[in-house]
């Protein structure tokens, strides 16, 4: 059963991370990542025997939410420890765990995640990046887009497909591709969105990898590995959105308390107060679903977590957009100035609606998987 009251340990973690975020603020640089790693926050979800905190996605989501609420969210938290760290911890070989988990836990190593392709979009069944055997090696060929942080990552966890010898069908497999591997090229994507983490297109041109690059010891485990990473991705995206929404709302509330027109703070007017209150309610409801999803995932219920993670991501994305819009509207012209730091969130908040899966695809998932309605595709 999901508890609605955070443990003392989670409350202490929330307070400590919030204090760290306040020290760095929205003008943070790489120093935040290093300090968070040194304090053990980046690897709270990873096994203790490899330098992690021994917790789960519930712990890591608190870290990301509180940093976001302080105005300094770390996007790579979603990718490096949540997706890649989780997949390697659950499915990696002993050698892969020893090689990667300690560095991912303390932040000294970073891993990116490559799944999206130009012609596949949300349809992962159309992934065309393929891996073929050549002796003891694997050879990867394909393209990926919208891969975050490749320029700072030591390696990228790439989703490819291999041919099943029994059926001839292509099945997903995950490979660890070091950044300097020959044939592995990256090209920055010119984004309108301003963010510390850049987006890249990857080109894999006959990239030769040793057998040890395949995550785990069984080719047939690729689908399980993929979903083991995608559920934490959705939960952490919800945390990212909730933190961003909380940050925008806090700025608006502080402004509404102080900004006085006709001798009255504007926050005293219901036209200002009620939408802010509604935004707070929406964010709190989204957080409850996020906590439920994290609890289910950490308890090992991948099926239940899949449904809850999708709903949490949807609810948090919608709540974040509404909170940011209302915050900017509350500040009026000041909401568009660099001083208050809200204008950039207008674009950033939309990311939670779009990535890593669109709200429309989440609605498809719920209508098909939960409600049992027929598919149109």
Domain boundaries, the chain: 8-110, 113-219, 223-370
What's the fold here for domain 113-219?
Butyryl-CoA Dehydrogenase, subunit A; domain 2 (2.40.110)
pLDDT at residue 225, as a whole number: 86
pLDDT at residue 334, as a whole number: 96
pLDDT at residue 226, as a whole number: 83
Among 155, 209, 153, smallest CA distance to 182 is for 209
Length of the chain: 377
Give, for all 377 residues of the chain, the pLDDT tens digit.
556 789 999 999 999 999 999 999 887 767 999 999 999 999 999 999 999 999 999 999 999 999 999 999 999 999 999 999 999 999 999 999 999 999 999 999 999 999 999 887 666 667 889 999 999 999 999 999 999 999 999 999 999 988 765 565 678 899 999 999 999 999 999 998 877 789 999 999 999 999 999 998 766 667 788 878 899 999 999 999 999 999 999 999 999 999 999 899 999 999 999 999 999 999 999 999 999 999 999 999 999 999 999 999 999 999 999 999 999 999 999 999 999 999 999 999 999 999 999 999 999 999 999 999 999 88
Predicted TM-score (pTM) of the model is 0.94
Q: Is beta strand 111-114 parallel, antiparallel or unpaired with respect to 155-163?
A: parallel
Phi, psi at 202, each rounded to 5°: -110, 140
Q: What angle do CA 91, 95, 96 make, to 5 degrees?
A: 50
Domain 8-110 has CATH 1.20.1050.10: no
Residue 325 contacts residue 346 (beta carbons within 8 Å):
yes
pLDDT at residue 304, as a whole number: 93
The DSSP code for 186 is E
Residue 150 contacts residue 156 (beta carbons within 8 Å):
yes
Residue whose tokens read 């709302």: 249
Rounded Cα gap, residues 235 and 218, in angstroms: 27
Residue 45 contacts residue 93 (beta carbons within 8 Å):
no
Hey, CA dihedral for 122, 289, 43, 93, is it positive or negative?
negative
Phi, psi at 55, each rounded to 5°: -95, -145
Among 192, 57, 161, 34, smallest CA distance to 103 is for 34
Please tell me the CATH code under which domain 223-370 is placed.
1.20.140.10
Asked if domains 8-110 and 113-219 share a fold, the reply is: no
pLDDT at residue 5, as a whole number: 83
pLDDT at residue 168, as a whole number: 57
């Amino acid at each position: 059963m999901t508890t609605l009251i955070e443990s003392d340990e989670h409350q202490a973690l929330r307070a400590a991370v919030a204090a760290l975020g306040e020290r760095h603020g929205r003008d943070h640089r790489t120093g935040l990542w290093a300090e968070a790693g040194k304090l053990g926050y980046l690897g709270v979800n990873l096994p203790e025997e490899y330098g992690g905190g021994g917790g789960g996605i519930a712990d890591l989501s608190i870290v990301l939410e509180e940093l976001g609420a302080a105005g300094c969210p770390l996007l790579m938290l979603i990718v490096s420890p949540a997706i890649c760290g989780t997949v390697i911890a659950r499915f990696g070989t002993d050698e892969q765990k020893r090689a990667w988990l300690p560095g991912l836990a303390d932040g000294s190593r970073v891993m990116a995640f490559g799944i999206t392709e130009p012609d596949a979009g949300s349809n992962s069944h159309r992934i065309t990046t393929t891996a073929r055997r050549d002796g003891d090696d694997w050879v990867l060929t394909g393209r990926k887009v919208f891969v975050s942080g490749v320029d700072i990552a030591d390696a990228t966890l790439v989703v490819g497909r291999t041919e099943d010898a029994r059926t001839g069908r292509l099945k997903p497999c995950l490979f660890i591709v070091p950044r300097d591997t020959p044939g592995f090229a990256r090209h920055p994507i010119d984004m309108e969105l301003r963010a510390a983490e850049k987006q890249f297109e990857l080109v894999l041109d006959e990239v030769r990898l040793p057998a040890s690059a395949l995550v785990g010891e069984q080719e047939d485990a690729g689908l399980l590995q993929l979903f083991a990473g995608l559920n934490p991705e959705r939960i952490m995206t919800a945390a990212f959105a909730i933190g961003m929404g909380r940050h925008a709302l806090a700025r608006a509330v502080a402004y509404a308390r102080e900004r006085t027109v006709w001798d009255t703070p504007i926050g005293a007017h219901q036209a200002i107060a009620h939408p802010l209150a509604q935004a707070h309610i929406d964010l709190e409801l989204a957080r409850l679903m996020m906590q439920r999803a994290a609890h289910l995932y950490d308890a090992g219920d991948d099926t239940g977590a899949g449904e809850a993670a999708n709903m949490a991501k949807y609810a948090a994305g919608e709540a974040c957009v509404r909170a940011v819009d209302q915050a900017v509207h509350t500040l009026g012209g000041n909401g568009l100035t660099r001083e208050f730091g809200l204008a950039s969130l207008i674009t950033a908040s939309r990311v939670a609606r779009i990535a890593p899966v669109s709200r429309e695809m989440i609605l498809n998932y719920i209508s098909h998987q939960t409600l049992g309605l027929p598919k149109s595709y």
